[in-house]
């Protein structure tokens, strides 16, 4: 009986000492051993991640480095959630420049209270380095000219298409900011512009108003 009690006590001690307590609250994201494996001191058992805040590391081109500071707002678009944009901010900026790529590593963090975002997801990042109110924004394809000619658009007034030179500000993938040459609510030719000449009569089939960005 005494031997059985001793064995029981030893088993309880072994069980207690084999219990591993995580150093942080989080979720197990990876397991490095299987049941029955022999482990040694220092072996990795599981990976635990604190998932309520997630980070994204991005490389910012050197020429934009001066525009990005800690606290700069960012939008994170993750392929798994279609067009949904998650709000985030720049958390830190690495002090060294990558001499080969001429980029600066920037760490962005965002809240993930609902645990939708997972490690390894592919994300597209937009850094908001400048904010403007009441600006004129039009589709990029509407602007003609460029490398050789001054950029211009066709504005329709009373059935006549007038060639109007404009000044372009911020350029994005599919739209341009117009800083001079257009007013809000003017009507643009958005199709067939390449077939027009100044002061040509046109038949309005569909017009698109220039919008005013209130963001």
At residue 155, the pLDDT reads: 95
Between 134 and 78, whose confidence is greater? 78
Tally of domains within the chain:
2
User: Residue 113 belongs to a domain with what CATH number?
Assistant: 2.40.30.170
Please provide the size of the chain in residues.
215
Confidence check: pLDDT of 210 > 50: no
**Which token pair is 126?**
């937009």
Residues 142, 207 share a domain? yes
Strand 103-111 versus strand 175-180 pairing type? unpaired
Render pLDDT for 48-83 as a digit per residue (tens, 0 to 9): 878 888 999 999 999 888 889 999 999 999 888 887
Task: Express as a percent the part of the chain with pLDDT over 70.
Answer: 93
Residues 59, 80 share a domain? yes
Q: What angle do CA 136, 139, 145 make, to 5 degrees?
A: 95
Residues 101, 84 share a domain? yes
**Which token pair is 155?**
């504005």
Domain of 142, in residue numbers: 135-213
Residues 140, 121 share a domain? no
Among 172, 206, 201, 214, smallest CA distance to 187 is for 206
Q: What angle do CA 140, 108, 44 make, to 5 degrees?
A: 135
Give a yes or no: residue 150 inside a domain: yes
Residues 141, 208 share a domain? yes
């Amino acid at each position: 009986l005494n031997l059985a009690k001793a064995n029981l006590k030893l088993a309880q001690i072994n069980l207690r000492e084999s219990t591993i307590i995580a150093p942080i609250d989080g979720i197990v994201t990876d397991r490095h051993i299987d049941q029955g494996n022999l482990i040694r001191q220092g072996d990795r058992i599981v990976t635990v991640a604190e998932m309520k805040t997630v980070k994204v590391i991005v490389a910012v081109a050197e020429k934009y480095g001066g525009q990005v500071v800690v606290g700069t707002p960012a939008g994170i678009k993750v392929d798994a959630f279609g067009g949904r944009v998650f709000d985030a901010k720049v958390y830190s900026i690495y002090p060294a420049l990558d001499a080969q790529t001429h980029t600066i590593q920037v760490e962005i963090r965002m809240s993930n209270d609902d645990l939708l975002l997972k490690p390894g997801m592919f994300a597209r990042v937009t850094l908001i380095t400048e904010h403007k109110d009441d600006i004129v924004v039009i589709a990029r394809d509407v602007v003609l000219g460029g490398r050789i000619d001054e950029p211009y658009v066709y504005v329709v007034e009373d059935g006549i298409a007038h060639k109007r030179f404009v000044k372009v500000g911020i350029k994005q993938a599919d739209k341009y900011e117009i800083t001079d040459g257009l007013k809000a609510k003017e009507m643009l030719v958005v199709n067939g512009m390449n077939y027009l000449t100044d002061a040509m009569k046109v038949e309005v089939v569909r017009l698109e108003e220039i919008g005013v960005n209130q963001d």
